Chain A
Amino acid sequence: MAAILSHLLPGGEAGLAGFGGGLTRPDRLDSGMWDLHRADLLGVPGVWRTDPGLRLLAPGNAEDARHVPVLADATGLDRVERMVVTIDYSPFPLALVFHPGRALPLLGFGVKYEIAGPIRASALTGGEWIMGGAFVDAMGGGCSAPAVTHARPDWQDGFGEMRARLWPETGRLRVGIRHPMDTGLADGVPAHHLTDLTLTDAAGAEIARLEIHEPLEENPVLTFLLPPDLARGPVGITARDTSGFRFSGRVAA
């Protein structure tokens, strides 16, 4: 089923089907802030549709409003130019803009949730916007609570540490960066968050680029999908944040 890997776990194929397979029910999601966000954040007031080629997995309930795991898989669509992740009732409705470039249009990430509502991934392909989304029920507070790391006196220890691994057989790349991802909404904690991340090939040429905004979770882990030639690595990873810090790493298979 698309590029979703739930079936690699025993019983996972049936489990995923029982979960709904990440398919979007447009009757439930043509609501909320969608018309406004379509106009303001995608720049296209009218034309959109859903498509089984774009699947989005998200839990029905945010068990932890600081870490809501999401996978947006647009590999069933042709020629995706970019994917835009928006959260309907977030104080920061624009979460991520993904330019897949030479990577495949799949993005795994976690977000903070301030209030229950839909999360959407919209893919631009051939001048048309395809939207996949899910409703996430949440107690909220994820964007306005201080990062957990600030509860420790040594929060700067390990700041920026980058972890990553390539799986050439599936094309997966997972990248984690230790970062508080402060939104600026928590009392006395100024905004300090990642702003962009770039993947490069062995020659240093760009593979893909991700624009990052406040809702991305603390200590984010991102998942990408690379074609076989690039998935053999090595892949360079660079990132920046609002305070001018730069982060860099290199992962080989």
Chain B
Amino acid sequence: MRVTRRQTLLGAAAALLPVPARAAPEYRLEPRQVADGVWLIEGAQESIAPANGGAICNVAMLETPEGAVVVDTGGTLRHGAALRAFADGRLGGVAASLNTHHHPDHWFGNGAFADRPIQALPGTTAAQKAGAQALSDGLYRILGSWMQGTAPLAATAAVEGGDMTIGGRGLTVMALSGHTGADLALIDQRTGTLIAGDLLFLDRAPSFPDADLAAWRAALARLGGLPVSGTIPGHGPFHRDSRAVVQTLAYLDAFAARMDAAASLGLTPAEALAAGPMPAFAHLGANPAEYRRATVQQWRAHEISALPVIGGSV
């Protein structure tokens, strides 16, 4: 074996310096019961980053005699395994899990739940299969070793909107869209808790890679009209009022207005991006990064109406 000069230097440095071995990353969960038999494992209010291991989405677990109903499975296999260990140790195992939508922070932990049904809206499953490789490449690039062993596993069972019962626990499932092409939200009938997926964000900037703003507004109008006792948003704290609906809708409107204003003033997307988020929302978790991403994702839809057709192929 040839040893390069660099390896020699690194070896010498390692021998001389008292460098502590870097601990393998691990997920430390803090599950909290927010209603009768409703557990919340809150995600970091950040973008996916090595510091959080991709554990940024909220995970909800509903206790049943047959084990937990797990709503979203985490952002990596090991995140999923940590969630599974909690369900197995404290909630009598897993009855079934659900994926609210196809963004990877919500379902890349599916591998730890593969022995039980994993349910999703058909549109979500299709998007999971279509996007798995690209999403996986992206997350390996950002998260590195946190992703060890993660092979995206799409949902294995279809769920439709309407009432259903798992392990004796009644759930009202709503098939909505707007954050993505297929967004599942559900109400736990025993407690009246709304588990909203990423249709709702609270104190964290909404993400827009697959957003349809008109559909999202319609979904928010529906969620805002529901008589619920408490809400678990996709990102952000559990709360008992309508704050997340109000804030998410205000963010969508303010973001769209900012893009329209920028396009009608003749700004380039680079200038709109560099300007940063709307001042009222600059403090939200994951901003300004999420605003910058959203500008690239949404710019074209706003630009086109600011530029009239003036010519063509001759």
* Interface-side segment among B121-129, B149-157, B264-272: B264-272
Complex interface residues of chain B between 289 and 314 (CB less than 8 A to chain A) = 292-293, 296-297, 299-300, 303-304, 306-314
With A10-B279, A59-B292, A64-B296 known as contacts, the answer to whether A16 contacts B274 (CB < 8 A) is: yes
Complex interface residues of chain A between 208 and 235 (CB less than 8 A to chain B) = 219, 221, 223
Interface centre among A9, A12, A246 (most CB of B within 10 A): A9
- Does A70 belong to the interface (CB within 8 Å)? yes
**Bound-state Cα–Cα, A57 to B288, Å:** 16
**Bound-state Cα–Cα, A7 to B271, Å:** 9
How far is the CB of B265 from the nearest CB of chain A, in Å? Answer: 5
Across the two chains, which residue of chain B brings its CB closest to A67?
B296
- Does A77 belong to the interface (CB within 8 Å)? no
**Bound-state Cα–Cα, A128 to B269, Å:** 30
Could you say which residues of chain A place their CB within 8 Å of the CB of B288? 15, 18
Could you say which residues of chain B place their CB within 8 Å of the CB of A164? 307-308, 310-311
How many chain B residues touch the partner (CB < 8 A)? 42
Could you say which residues of chain A place their CB within 8 Å of the CB of B51? none
Contact with B along A163-175 (1 / 0, CB 8 A): 1110100101010
**Bound-state Cα–Cα, A4 to B279, Å:** 19
With A64-B297, A170-B266 known as contacts, the answer to whether A16 contacts B275 (CB < 8 A) is: yes
What are 17 sample pairs from A and B whose C-beta atoms fall under 8 A apart? A6-B272, A8-B261, A12-B271, A16-B276, A19-B273, A63-B209, A63-B296, A69-B299, A70-B270, A71-B268, A139-B137, A163-B304, A164-B308, A221-B303, A223-B266, A237-B311, A247-B311
Q: Which residues of A contact B (CB under 8 A)?
A: 4-12, 14-16, 18-19, 22, 57-59, 61, 63-64, 67-71, 108, 110, 139, 159-165, 167, 170, 172, 174, 176, 219, 221, 223, 237, 245-251
Q: Which residues of B contact A (CB under 8 A)?
A: 134, 137-138, 141, 209, 258, 261-262, 265-279, 282, 288, 292-293, 296-297, 299-300, 303-304, 306-314
Known: A59-B292, A61-B293. 6 other contacts (CB 8 A): A9-B272, A11-B276, A11-B277, A59-B273, A139-B141, A161-B313
